A and B are shown apart, each in its own frame.
Chain A
Amino acid sequence: MSDSKKYFIARICSLLKLPANSLSANENEISAFLPLHELPLIVKRLCQMEEARCVFIGATDDRKNSKSFGLQYLFSIDKESLLILLRSKVPDHSLKFPSIAVQVAAAAAFEQEIWEFFGITPEGHPNLKNLLLHEDWPSETFPLRKDFDPHQKIKRVEKKSSNFLQVTGEGVFEIPVGPVHAGIIEPGHFRFSVAGEPVIHLEIQLGFTHKGIEKLAEGKTVLEAAALAERISGDASFAHSMAFCQAVEKIAKVTVPKKAQVLRVIFSEMERLYNHLGDIAGIATDVGFSFGAAQMLRLRELILQKNDRFTGHRLLRGVNIPGGVLCDLTAEIKNELRSFLNLLLDQYAPVEHLYFETDSLMDRIEGTGIVLEKVVRDLTGVGPVARASNVKIDLRQDFPYADYPNLKFEVAFRKEGDVAARMLVKMAEFKEAVSIIFQALDHLTDEPLVVNIQSLPEGSALGWAESARGEIFHWLRIGRDGKVERLKIKSPSFSNWRILPWAVQGNIVPDFPLINKSFNLSYSGNDR
């Protein structure tokens, strides 16, 4: 560890009133307990003076053991590769905690979620309303409390008044869209307030695909929960399962064999490849450039077919398990993969070139849907959306896991923040991903694929992975019985959905599909 980092960590530790050496074994996580009343000030200092970024806020129902609810605040100081987990307690007779949403805008949605699912109130929250549960949800029914039966049927109550912010004024009208959309996409409800063509304000209601995954995971074995983790968001099956498995492995204190780590890199980059091609194609589709889209979609399908051939599943499900992976690449397959990647690059390059030459495409996407860097920082956007607005964060580089520390790659980023920038970032990442797979293939050794996890001790840990959409965090707590006691899932879409309305503002309604496509958010990942 460098001296400057040591000094930095000493400073953080003194801010948190910790002994100077309280860094956990893997050297990038600090954890501290703070009484509730000290939280706001310390958080403010962390965010304003140390450039900490609020990754998520979670809660636990510990009333049985300690007559209180637990809170977990995860912050990341990206430039120093440091994660800070602050823990606190809300006594069960007060059911209140101080909101930090006024200082830290990104905290607002997490606090709403805690209020909605645990029934503890963030005092001073500027905009406390339902986030995922709809208006016909009965009051005083909090799904993540331990005394809530996960299998019950919830009755529908009479709808409360609608939650939407309304814009009024001469010539302003509202366009409602969804939840069932025109295309083959997931459900969500949008309300555009427009005056003429430009959008003044966009309200988004999600939660339609809420399946109670966090609750369902409770009481399950880690193997059962791993199957759930793969089904949080279908096109990020591998990334979610990787984040989950890494959390389990940390609790079990096992090191996954090198070979499995390399394979995990290969498969997660394959996932990135097909996702990015799909997104790049989607942009072309939405501007009516179907020739380009068809070319990209053809290549994408080839990748899905290779996934199927190598692992038996097009979306790479059933490949990852806690302790390693279940699927090896034989020498023959390795060669096949190499020549496939060469073919992919060869055929991709001219299509990319064609994109740049097509004015009807580039004119539509340049300057459209601009996201300011400040918006990304305040709302802690992640993934290509952040990187296209000059916020260079990537877990593969900042908090490397699996075999990433041994690989060379550039993190692509742009400054413009428009639809074009997001597409260009994905194009660059596509090529980097191919290069990463090539390198990783050379790192494959003859080792076992899995380490056995005999029994799981009580404890909690964080697991993470950079999916095609951005960072995924899983905070897992295992109970005394070796089963899941709590699983907090932070999907990349959860942050990026809050940014979309800012990207749309001032743009014309017909550009909305295009801007939305350039974000390509997961509804299911957000709603869980």
Chain B
Amino acid sequence: MYIIQNAMQNLLRNKGRNLMMAAIIFVVIVSSVVALIINNTASGVINDYKTRFGSEVYLTVNMEKVIQESDGSSRIARPTIPAEQLLAFASSDYLLSTKMTAGGRGNSDDLKAIDEDKGPGGGPMLSMGPVPGGGGPGDSNLSSIPKTRQYYYHLFANQYDDFESGSRELTEGSRFPEKSGECLISQELLENSGLAIGDTIKINSDINDPGTGPGDETYYDIEFQLTIVGTYQDLTDEYGNSMMENAFTNRRNEIFMYIDDLASVVTEGLMGIDVNATYYLKDPDLLEAFTAELRAKGLKETFDVTTDEASYNAIVGPVVAMKGISLTFVAIVLAFGAIIVALLASLAVRERKYEIGVLRAMGMKKSRVALGLWTETITITAFCLVIGLAVGGFAAQPITNILLDQQVEAAEQAQSNSFMPQPGGSGPVAIGGGPAGPTVTAGPAPGFFGQTSAETIKSIDVAINLETILEIIVIALVLSSLAGLIAIRRITKYEPMKILMERN
């Protein structure tokens, strides 16, 4: 097609002007490439963390509201969420998954505990904090506690972290409890008790109504009839992190049960068996809707529904800031780029008015003249695009490093200037005094978690991807089309004779 051919010839005929045009488009494209690469990579990182940190829901006690509702009564009962509610919450459509866990304590006449001679542990206050001291048989604290309220065994359901991390392993022929009435115990406990897989044991436990305080508890005894479906090999230290050494704290005496067995016995206000639920939203943005649903299902106002925003903010804060900068940058570059391209196109048409007049005088249609000019711009743009993508791709990483370093530094400075010990730690938990104990909340509190896992992102690897390339192509097309449109507008304003006569 002669129009394209003529456009190419024109490009070569007017090297100076075209090089200037190319230089400007090149700058716009390189800047956009860099900014878009940063922006898109940052978006990816942010989304990744958002789903990782933003989707895990915490139901935490809002102590401020608890105190408000207590009517000045001296004894404030920490609110609990009944297990049946926790289970009802799990059926929400907003959830990707739910992890229910439970924990309790018990005794069994059918078992012989490891370190039985070191005595039991636990007690009514167990859940508020273990009884201090050695925990031996002659312990003064324990002596005041009735024998049946002293425990040798931890009961767990769905708490398999150690198995995942590899510090515990199922022995051959073993499996986890899959239905009601099944349990998993340690290989040592099995051998110590002279039992075998498939045997049935009876476990006694209890739950209690704390009443008005210590001494006022009402105990309800529970009995579990359990078949041993497997054993585990414990590769960890017997006492783990516990300060006390007794049968109760010995990790070989931990019994894993089916979740429903342990959870279903708990009703509102009863303690002794803790049921926790961790909910994972399909999308962090569903939090509000999910909260509304929980309220409708009976979640008390004394509980807050939150995600781990603090950790999320601390981690991705600098990346978000950098993304903001890159976005602003793109906007500015594009705005200026568009203005400059528009001006250049306008000037080009003016400068080439005579040429256009000649073409029109020879009977070339306006649309074809415009197509020719547009072809020239597109060619320059395409040329700049290829080089711009390459140069921008190389420049993106060092620029990212500089930007992110600045943001990390700024974030750290802000953090050290802040009175808050942890970033964003203004949640309701702080009022409760110390991290909310896992025993009363449905999941760990944000602050608690945030401190341990919030490691700010200090570097990200940027790379050009298809999305970025497509965006750049669209931008380039829009820019050159803008130039083309301006050319067409100007051309249609002139009649060929008038253009030619103006020159004469």
Whether chains A and B associate is no
B-side residues, CB < 8 A to A, are: none
